[in-house]
Protein backbone atom coordinates (compact mmCIF):
# COMPACT_ATOMS: atom_id res chain seq x y z
CA UNK A 1 0.00 0.00 0.00
CA UNK A 2 1.18 3.55 -0.47
CA UNK A 3 2.27 5.65 2.46
CA UNK A 4 -0.88 7.80 2.46
CA UNK A 5 -2.80 4.65 3.39
CA UNK A 6 -0.77 4.20 6.53
CA UNK A 7 -2.93 3.98 9.61
CA UNK A 8 -1.79 5.34 12.92
CA UNK A 9 -1.12 2.59 15.41
CA UNK A 10 0.48 2.85 18.82
CA UNK A 11 3.21 0.37 17.87
CA UNK A 12 3.05 -3.37 18.28
CA UNK A 13 2.07 -4.51 21.75
CA UNK A 14 3.66 -7.71 23.01
CA UNK A 15 5.67 -10.10 20.87
CA UNK A 16 4.72 -12.06 17.76
CA UNK A 17 5.71 -15.73 18.05
CA UNK A 18 4.48 -18.58 15.88
CA UNK A 19 2.26 -20.08 18.62
CA UNK A 20 0.98 -16.60 19.39
CA UNK A 21 0.10 -15.99 15.74
CA UNK A 22 -1.77 -19.31 15.68
CA UNK A 23 -3.82 -18.05 18.61
CA UNK A 24 -4.49 -14.70 16.87
CA UNK A 25 -5.83 -16.45 13.80
CA UNK A 26 -7.98 -18.77 15.91
CA UNK A 27 -9.37 -15.88 17.95
CA UNK A 28 -10.13 -13.92 14.77
CA UNK A 29 -12.00 -16.93 13.39
CA UNK A 30 -14.12 -17.01 16.56
CA UNK A 31 -14.90 -13.30 16.13
CA UNK A 32 -15.92 -13.94 12.52
CA UNK A 33 -18.30 -16.64 13.80
CA UNK A 34 -19.98 -13.98 15.96
CA UNK A 35 -18.24 -14.38 19.35
CA UNK A 36 -17.84 -11.06 21.16
CA UNK A 37 -14.24 -9.84 21.04
CA UNK A 38 -13.57 -10.23 24.77
CA UNK A 39 -14.84 -13.83 24.90
CA UNK A 40 -13.02 -14.76 21.70
CA UNK A 41 -9.73 -13.51 23.17
CA UNK A 42 -10.19 -14.99 26.64
CA UNK A 43 -11.35 -18.37 25.29
CA UNK A 44 -8.38 -18.57 22.94
CA UNK A 45 -5.91 -17.54 25.62
CA UNK A 46 -7.35 -20.17 27.97
CA UNK A 47 -6.79 -22.80 25.27
CA UNK A 48 -3.20 -21.61 24.69
CA UNK A 49 -2.38 -21.54 28.37
CA UNK A 50 1.37 -22.03 27.79
CA UNK A 51 1.80 -18.66 26.07
CA UNK A 52 3.86 -16.17 28.07
CA UNK A 53 2.81 -12.67 29.05
CA UNK A 54 4.24 -10.90 26.00
CA UNK A 55 2.68 -13.44 23.63
CA UNK A 56 -0.68 -13.06 25.34
CA UNK A 57 -0.59 -9.28 25.06
CA UNK A 58 0.21 -9.64 21.37
CA UNK A 59 -2.71 -12.06 20.87
CA UNK A 60 -5.21 -9.67 22.46
CA UNK A 61 -3.80 -6.67 20.58
CA UNK A 62 -3.52 -8.31 17.16
CA UNK A 63 -6.98 -9.88 17.40
CA UNK A 64 -8.48 -6.44 18.03
CA UNK A 65 -6.36 -5.01 15.21
CA UNK A 66 -7.70 -7.48 12.63
CA UNK A 67 -11.27 -6.33 13.34
CA UNK A 68 -10.23 -2.67 13.60
CA UNK A 69 -8.67 -2.65 10.14
CA UNK A 70 -10.81 -5.33 8.51
CA UNK A 71 -12.16 -3.21 5.66
CA UNK A 72 -8.77 -1.75 4.78
CA UNK A 73 -7.12 -5.17 4.90
CA UNK A 74 -9.78 -6.63 2.64
CA UNK A 75 -9.31 -3.77 0.19
CA UNK A 76 -5.59 -4.49 0.26
CA UNK A 77 -6.31 -8.20 -0.35
CA UNK A 78 -8.60 -7.35 -3.26
CA UNK A 79 -6.00 -5.06 -4.82
CA UNK A 80 -3.66 -8.06 -4.82
CA UNK A 81 -6.22 -10.21 -6.61
CA UNK A 82 -7.04 -12.13 -3.41
CA UNK A 83 -10.37 -10.67 -2.28
CA UNK A 84 -11.70 -12.54 0.78
CA UNK A 85 -14.66 -13.84 -1.26
CA UNK A 86 -12.22 -15.48 -3.66
CA UNK A 87 -10.47 -17.43 -0.89
CA UNK A 88 -11.78 -20.94 -0.26
CA UNK A 89 -11.71 -21.20 3.53
CA UNK A 90 -12.34 -18.79 6.41
CA UNK A 91 -8.93 -19.93 7.69
CA UNK A 92 -7.33 -18.60 4.48
CA UNK A 93 -9.08 -15.26 4.94
CA UNK A 94 -7.94 -15.02 8.55
CA UNK A 95 -4.32 -15.95 7.84
CA UNK A 96 -4.10 -13.63 4.85
CA UNK A 97 -5.70 -10.77 6.78
CA UNK A 98 -3.16 -11.31 9.56
CA UNK A 99 -0.26 -11.41 7.08
CA UNK A 100 -1.39 -8.16 5.43
CA UNK A 101 -1.90 -6.44 8.78
CA UNK A 102 1.54 -7.49 9.97
CA UNK A 103 3.26 -6.28 6.84
CA UNK A 104 1.30 -3.14 5.99
CA UNK A 105 0.27 -1.79 9.39
CA UNK A 106 3.13 -2.89 11.63
CA UNK A 107 5.90 -2.68 9.01
CA UNK A 108 7.15 -6.30 9.33
CA UNK A 109 9.19 -7.63 6.39
CA UNK A 110 7.71 -10.26 4.07
CA UNK A 111 10.30 -12.73 5.42
CA UNK A 112 9.32 -12.03 9.03
CA UNK A 113 5.63 -12.44 8.21
CA UNK A 114 6.27 -15.70 6.36
CA UNK A 115 8.24 -17.00 9.34
CA UNK A 116 5.12 -16.38 11.44
CA UNK A 117 2.46 -17.75 9.09
CA UNK A 118 4.36 -20.17 6.81
CA UNK A 119 3.64 -23.89 6.93
CA UNK A 120 3.70 -25.97 9.04
CA UNK A 121 0.93 -24.08 10.83
CA UNK A 122 -0.57 -21.88 11.97
CA UNK A 123 -4.11 -23.17 11.84
CA UNK A 124 -5.40 -25.95 9.64
CA UNK A 125 -7.08 -26.50 7.31
CA UNK A 126 -5.80 -23.96 4.83
CA UNK A 127 -5.74 -23.94 1.09
CA UNK A 128 -3.40 -21.00 0.43
CA UNK A 129 0.15 -22.13 -0.25
CA UNK A 130 3.04 -20.19 1.32
CA UNK A 131 4.23 -19.16 -2.16
CA UNK A 132 0.83 -17.61 -2.92
CA UNK A 133 0.80 -15.62 0.32
CA UNK A 134 4.39 -14.53 -0.20
CA UNK A 135 3.83 -13.41 -3.77
CA UNK A 136 0.70 -11.46 -2.80
CA UNK A 137 2.47 -9.77 0.12
CA UNK A 138 5.38 -8.77 -2.09
CA UNK A 139 3.19 -6.84 -4.53
CA UNK A 140 3.04 -3.07 -4.25
CA UNK A 141 -0.48 -1.80 -4.75
CA UNK A 142 -2.29 1.52 -4.64
CA UNK A 143 -5.69 1.49 -2.98
CA UNK A 144 -8.55 3.48 -4.44
CA UNK A 145 -10.73 4.97 -1.71
CA UNK A 146 -12.97 6.93 -4.11
CA UNK A 147 -13.66 10.68 -4.11
CA UNK A 148 -16.31 11.19 -1.44
CA UNK A 149 -14.43 12.57 1.61
CA UNK A 150 -16.48 10.69 4.20
CA UNK A 151 -16.34 7.41 2.28
CA UNK A 152 -12.60 7.88 1.84
CA UNK A 153 -12.18 8.32 5.58
CA UNK A 154 -14.43 5.31 6.17
CA UNK A 155 -12.35 3.09 3.88
CA UNK A 156 -9.00 4.37 5.14
CA UNK A 157 -9.89 3.85 8.79
CA UNK A 158 -12.01 0.75 8.16
CA UNK A 159 -15.49 1.84 9.16
CA UNK A 160 -18.79 0.99 7.46
CA UNK A 161 -19.85 4.00 5.36
CA UNK A 162 -23.12 4.47 7.31
CA UNK A 163 -21.25 4.65 10.62
CA UNK A 164 -18.64 7.10 9.38
CA UNK A 165 -21.46 9.29 8.02
CA UNK A 166 -23.31 9.16 11.35
CA UNK A 167 -20.13 10.06 13.28
CA UNK A 168 -19.39 12.86 10.77
CA UNK A 169 -22.79 14.43 11.56
CA UNK A 170 -21.63 15.12 15.12
CA UNK A 171 -17.83 15.30 14.93
CA UNK A 172 -16.17 18.71 15.34
CA UNK A 173 -15.60 20.30 11.89
CA UNK A 174 -12.56 18.90 10.10
CA UNK A 175 -11.91 16.21 12.74
CA UNK A 176 -13.60 13.13 11.26
CA UNK A 177 -10.28 11.56 10.21
CA UNK A 178 -8.81 12.15 13.65
CA UNK A 179 -11.89 10.76 15.42
CA UNK A 180 -11.90 7.58 13.34
CA UNK A 181 -8.14 7.15 13.79
CA UNK A 182 -8.54 7.57 17.55
CA UNK A 183 -11.26 4.91 17.64
CA UNK A 184 -8.70 2.54 16.08
CA UNK A 185 -5.99 3.17 18.67
CA UNK A 186 -5.28 0.73 21.46
CA UNK A 187 -6.51 2.57 24.57
CA UNK A 188 -4.34 3.24 27.59
CA UNK A 189 -5.31 1.73 30.91
CA UNK A 190 -6.86 4.57 32.91
CA UNK A 191 -7.63 4.38 36.60
CA UNK A 192 -9.16 6.39 39.39
CA UNK A 193 -7.28 6.90 42.64
CA UNK A 194 -9.23 6.40 45.87
CA UNK A 195 -9.98 7.92 48.27
CA UNK A 196 -10.64 11.16 46.41
CA UNK A 197 -7.84 13.71 46.67
CA UNK A 198 -4.99 11.22 47.26
CA UNK A 199 -3.57 11.10 43.72
CA UNK A 200 -0.60 13.32 44.45
CA UNK A 201 0.52 11.15 47.35
CA UNK A 202 -0.06 7.87 45.54
CA UNK A 203 1.63 8.77 42.23
CA UNK A 204 5.19 8.93 43.65
CA UNK A 205 4.65 5.56 45.39
CA UNK A 206 3.56 3.96 42.10
CA UNK A 207 6.45 5.52 40.20
CA UNK A 208 8.94 4.38 42.86
CA UNK A 209 7.56 0.84 42.44
CA UNK A 210 8.33 1.07 38.70
CA UNK A 211 4.88 1.72 37.26
CA UNK A 212 4.97 4.18 34.34
CA UNK A 213 1.98 6.23 35.44
CA UNK A 214 1.02 9.87 34.92
CA UNK A 215 -1.81 12.16 36.01
CA UNK A 216 -4.64 12.89 33.62
CA UNK A 217 -5.10 16.67 33.78
CA UNK A 218 -8.85 16.44 33.07
CA UNK A 219 -9.77 15.15 36.54
CA UNK A 220 -8.17 15.38 39.98
CA UNK A 221 -8.24 11.62 40.67
CA UNK A 222 -7.48 10.12 37.22
CA UNK A 223 -4.18 8.50 36.26
CA UNK A 224 -3.03 6.52 33.28
CA UNK A 225 -0.61 3.62 32.89
CA UNK A 226 1.62 4.14 29.87
CA UNK A 227 2.78 0.55 29.51
CA UNK A 228 0.39 -2.29 30.24
CA UNK A 229 3.36 -4.65 30.35
CA UNK A 230 3.62 -3.69 34.00
CA UNK A 231 1.03 -5.90 35.66
CA UNK A 232 -0.63 -3.31 37.85
CA UNK A 233 -3.61 -5.60 38.48
CA UNK A 234 -1.39 -7.62 40.81
CA UNK A 235 -0.24 -4.55 42.74
CA UNK A 236 -1.20 -4.01 46.36
CA UNK A 237 -2.87 -0.68 45.49
CA UNK A 238 -5.26 -2.44 43.14
CA UNK A 239 -5.93 -5.17 45.72
CA UNK A 240 -6.54 -2.59 48.44
CA UNK A 241 -9.09 -0.79 46.23
CA UNK A 242 -6.99 2.36 46.01
CA UNK A 243 -6.99 2.05 42.22
CA UNK A 244 -10.06 1.38 40.11
CA UNK A 245 -9.89 0.80 36.38
CA UNK A 246 -12.19 3.26 34.62
CA UNK A 247 -12.00 4.93 31.18
CA UNK A 248 -11.39 8.65 31.42
CA UNK A 249 -14.63 9.30 29.48
CA UNK A 250 -16.52 7.18 32.01
CA UNK A 251 -14.99 9.17 34.85
CA UNK A 252 -15.95 12.44 33.17
CA UNK A 253 -19.52 11.21 32.77
CA UNK A 254 -19.74 10.21 36.44
CA UNK A 255 -18.20 13.59 37.33
CA UNK A 256 -20.97 15.36 35.39
CA UNK A 257 -23.34 14.19 38.14
CA UNK A 258 -21.58 16.63 40.52
CA UNK A 259 -22.70 14.35 43.33
CA UNK A 260 -22.03 16.06 46.67
CA UNK A 261 -21.46 14.72 50.21
CA UNK A 262 -24.70 13.63 51.88
CA UNK A 263 -26.73 13.35 48.66
CA UNK A 264 -28.94 10.45 47.67
CA UNK A 265 -28.22 9.13 44.21
CA UNK A 266 -29.76 6.39 42.07
CA UNK A 267 -27.44 4.64 39.63
CA UNK A 268 -30.26 3.41 37.41
CA UNK A 269 -28.19 1.36 34.91
CA UNK A 270 -25.46 0.36 37.36
CA UNK A 271 -24.19 -2.71 35.50
CA UNK A 272 -21.03 -4.01 37.15
CA UNK A 273 -20.88 -0.88 39.29
CA UNK A 274 -18.00 1.19 37.89
CA UNK A 275 -19.86 4.46 38.31
CA UNK A 276 -21.69 3.29 41.43
CA UNK A 277 -18.39 3.32 43.33
CA UNK A 278 -17.46 6.71 41.89
CA UNK A 279 -20.81 8.08 43.11
CA UNK A 280 -20.49 6.40 46.52
CA UNK A 281 -17.08 8.05 47.00
CA UNK A 282 -18.57 11.42 46.00
CA UNK A 283 -21.59 11.31 48.35
CA UNK A 284 -19.54 9.83 51.19
CA UNK A 285 -20.76 7.73 54.12
CA UNK A 286 -23.48 10.26 55.01
CA UNK A 287 -24.98 9.94 51.56
CA UNK A 288 -26.58 6.95 49.84
CA UNK A 289 -26.38 5.27 46.46
CA UNK A 290 -29.16 2.99 45.26
CA UNK A 291 -27.87 0.77 42.46
CA UNK A 292 -30.34 -0.66 39.97
CA UNK A 293 -30.10 -2.67 36.75
CA UNK A 294 -32.40 -5.03 34.89
CA UNK A 295 -29.55 -7.54 34.66
CA UNK A 296 -29.24 -9.35 37.99
CA UNK A 297 -26.08 -11.00 36.66
CA UNK A 298 -24.28 -7.69 36.17
CA UNK A 299 -25.38 -6.47 39.60
CA UNK A 300 -23.71 -9.49 41.24
CA UNK A 301 -20.31 -8.00 40.35
CA UNK A 302 -21.39 -4.57 41.59
CA UNK A 303 -22.50 -6.10 44.91
CA UNK A 304 -19.21 -7.97 45.30
CA UNK A 305 -17.19 -4.82 44.61
CA UNK A 306 -19.24 -2.72 47.05
CA UNK A 307 -18.76 -5.41 49.73
CA UNK A 308 -15.00 -5.70 49.09
CA UNK A 309 -14.56 -1.94 49.40
CA UNK A 310 -16.81 -1.87 52.47
CA UNK A 311 -19.03 0.79 50.93
CA UNK A 312 -22.04 0.19 53.15
CA UNK A 313 -23.88 3.22 51.85
CA UNK A 314 -24.47 1.47 48.52
CA UNK A 315 -27.64 -0.61 48.48
CA UNK A 316 -29.39 -2.71 45.90
CA UNK A 317 -33.12 -2.45 46.58
CA UNK A 318 -35.72 -4.23 44.41
CA UNK A 319 -37.30 -0.87 43.54
CA UNK A 320 -34.79 1.81 42.48
CA UNK A 321 -36.04 4.40 45.10
CA UNK A 322 -36.14 7.28 42.63
CA UNK A 323 -38.58 8.98 45.03
CA UNK A 324 -35.69 9.57 47.45
CA UNK A 325 -33.12 10.68 44.89
CA UNK A 326 -31.52 14.08 44.44
CA UNK A 327 -30.01 12.71 41.28
CA UNK A 328 -30.35 9.72 38.97
CA UNK A 329 -27.58 8.61 36.66
CA UNK A 330 -28.85 6.89 33.50
CA UNK A 331 -25.74 5.32 31.99
CA UNK A 332 -27.86 3.97 29.20
CA UNK A 333 -27.47 0.82 27.13
CA UNK A 334 -26.12 2.04 23.78
CA UNK A 335 -24.30 1.09 20.59
CA UNK A 336 -20.90 1.67 22.21
CA UNK A 337 -19.53 3.48 19.14
CA UNK A 338 -17.37 5.58 21.47
CA UNK A 339 -15.64 2.47 22.80
CA UNK A 340 -14.94 0.72 19.49
CA UNK A 341 -11.24 0.78 20.36
CA UNK A 342 -11.98 -2.00 22.87
CA UNK A 343 -14.76 -3.74 20.95
CA UNK A 344 -13.83 -3.21 17.28
CA UNK A 345 -15.89 -6.21 16.12
CA UNK A 346 -18.95 -4.04 16.81
CA UNK A 347 -18.10 -2.03 13.69
CA UNK A 348 -19.22 -4.99 11.64
CA UNK A 349 -22.12 -6.08 13.86
CA UNK A 350 -23.97 -2.82 14.45
CA UNK A 351 -26.58 -1.58 12.01
CA UNK A 352 -28.61 1.64 11.71
CA UNK A 353 -31.65 -0.36 12.80
CA UNK A 354 -29.91 -1.54 15.97
CA UNK A 355 -29.00 2.06 16.80
CA UNK A 356 -32.68 3.03 16.54
CA UNK A 357 -33.61 0.12 18.82
CA UNK A 358 -31.18 1.53 21.38
CA UNK A 359 -32.77 4.96 20.98
CA UNK A 360 -36.22 3.52 21.73
CA UNK A 361 -34.90 1.81 24.85
CA UNK A 362 -33.07 4.95 26.00
CA UNK A 363 -36.27 7.00 25.75
CA UNK A 364 -38.25 4.33 27.61
CA UNK A 365 -35.71 4.32 30.43
CA UNK A 366 -35.75 8.11 30.69
CA UNK A 367 -39.58 8.09 30.80
CA UNK A 368 -39.52 5.60 33.68
CA UNK A 369 -36.88 7.60 35.58
CA UNK A 370 -38.53 11.00 35.24
CA UNK A 371 -41.85 9.56 36.37
CA UNK A 372 -40.31 8.41 39.67
CA UNK A 373 -38.16 11.46 40.40
CA UNK A 374 -39.25 14.25 42.71
CA UNK A 375 -39.39 17.88 41.43
CA UNK A 376 -35.94 19.46 41.58
CA UNK A 377 -34.35 16.07 40.91
CA UNK A 378 -31.64 15.82 38.27
CA UNK A 379 -31.17 13.12 35.63
CA UNK A 380 -27.72 12.69 34.14
CA UNK A 381 -28.24 10.89 30.85
CA UNK A 382 -25.09 9.37 29.38
CA UNK A 383 -23.91 7.08 26.62
CA UNK A 384 -20.61 5.85 25.23
CA UNK A 385 -21.88 6.65 21.76
CA UNK A 386 -20.89 9.36 19.29
CA UNK A 387 -24.10 9.14 17.30
CA UNK A 388 -26.72 11.88 17.25
CA UNK A 389 -29.54 9.30 17.31
CA UNK A 390 -28.49 8.18 20.79
CA UNK A 391 -27.35 11.53 22.15
CA UNK A 392 -28.82 14.91 21.15
CA UNK A 393 -31.80 13.31 19.39
CA UNK A 394 -32.73 11.44 22.58
CA UNK A 395 -32.40 14.60 24.68
CA UNK A 396 -34.48 16.60 22.18
CA UNK A 397 -37.24 13.98 22.01
CA UNK A 398 -37.26 13.62 25.79
CA UNK A 399 -37.53 17.39 26.36
CA UNK A 400 -40.29 17.69 23.74
CA UNK A 401 -42.28 15.04 25.61
CA UNK A 402 -41.49 16.36 29.10
CA UNK A 403 -42.04 20.11 29.32
CA UNK A 404 -41.49 19.80 33.09
CA UNK A 405 -37.80 19.16 32.34
CA UNK A 406 -35.01 21.41 31.09
CA UNK A 407 -31.45 20.95 29.96
CA UNK A 408 -28.93 22.14 32.55
CA UNK A 409 -25.82 23.52 30.82
CA UNK A 410 -24.06 22.30 27.70
CA UNK A 411 -23.87 18.54 27.23
CA UNK A 412 -20.56 16.80 27.87
CA UNK A 413 -18.97 15.58 24.64
CA UNK A 414 -15.84 13.49 24.99
CA UNK A 415 -14.15 13.11 21.59
CA UNK A 416 -11.56 10.33 21.57
CA UNK A 417 -9.13 12.33 19.40
CA UNK A 418 -9.10 15.15 21.96
CA UNK A 419 -9.06 13.10 25.15
CA UNK A 420 -7.60 9.62 25.34
CA UNK A 421 -10.60 8.12 27.05
CA UNK A 422 -13.12 6.82 24.54
CA UNK A 423 -16.13 8.69 23.15
CA UNK A 424 -18.84 9.72 25.61
CA UNK A 425 -21.88 11.98 25.81
CA UNK A 426 -23.69 13.29 28.87
CA UNK A 427 -26.55 15.71 29.51
CA UNK A 428 -27.97 17.05 32.78
CA UNK A 429 -31.76 17.20 32.76
CA UNK A 430 -33.58 18.92 35.62
CA UNK A 431 -37.16 18.06 36.58
CA UNK A 432 -38.79 21.35 37.63
Ligand X SMILES: C[S@@+](CC[C@H](N)C(=O)[O-])C[C@H]1O[C@@H](n2cnc3c(N)ncnc32)[C@H](O)[C@@H]1O
Residues that bind ligand X (CB under 6 A): 268-272, 274-275, 293-295, 298, 331, 333, 365
| Smaller CB separation from ligand X, 19 or 372 | 372
| Smaller CB separation from ligand X, 9 or 251 | 251
CB of 252 to ligand X, least distance (A): 12
**Which three-class secondary structure string do you get for 321-339?**
CHHHCCEEEEECCCCCHHH
CB of 177 to ligand X, least distance (A): 27
The CA-atom distances, in angstroms, between 34 and each of 18, 31, 348, 361, 401 are 25, 5, 10, 23, 38
CB of 355 to ligand X, least distance (A): 15
| Smaller CB separation from ligand X, 230 or 321 | 321
| Smaller CB separation from ligand X, 76 or 272 | 272
| Smaller CB separation from ligand X, 1 or 269 | 269
CB of 200 to ligand X, least distance (A): 26
CB of 90 to ligand X, least distance (A): 32
CB of 260 to ligand X, least distance (A): 20
111: CB partners within 8 A, 6+ apart: none
| Smaller CB separation from ligand X, 269 or 355 | 269
Rounded Cα gap, residues 155 and 149, in angstroms: 10
CB of 110 to ligand X, least distance (A): 43
What is the greatest pairwise CA distance in the chain? 72
What size, in residues, is the chain? 432
CB of 277 to ligand X, least distance (A): 9
| Smaller CB separation from ligand X, 364 or 396 | 364
| Smaller CB separation from ligand X, 62 or 291 | 291
| Smaller CB separation from ligand X, 116 or 390 | 390
| Smaller CB separation from ligand X, 333 or 416 | 333
CB of 382 to ligand X, least distance (A): 8
CB of 45 to ligand X, least distance (A): 23
Number of C-beta neighbours around residue 93 at 10 A: 24
Amino acid sequence: MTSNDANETRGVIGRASRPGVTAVVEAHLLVLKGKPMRSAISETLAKHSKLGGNDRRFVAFATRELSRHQRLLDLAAKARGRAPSSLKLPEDQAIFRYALWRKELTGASVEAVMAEVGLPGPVRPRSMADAVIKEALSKDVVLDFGDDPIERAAAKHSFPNWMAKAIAEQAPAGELDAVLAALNREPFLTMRVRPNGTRETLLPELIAAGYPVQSCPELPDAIRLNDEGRAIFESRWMKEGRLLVMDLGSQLLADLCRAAPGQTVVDYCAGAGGKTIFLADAVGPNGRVYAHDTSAKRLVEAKERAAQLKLRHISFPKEPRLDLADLALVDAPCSGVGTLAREPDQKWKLTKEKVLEFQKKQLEILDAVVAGLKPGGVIVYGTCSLLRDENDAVVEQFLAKHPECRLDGEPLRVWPNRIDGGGFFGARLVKQ
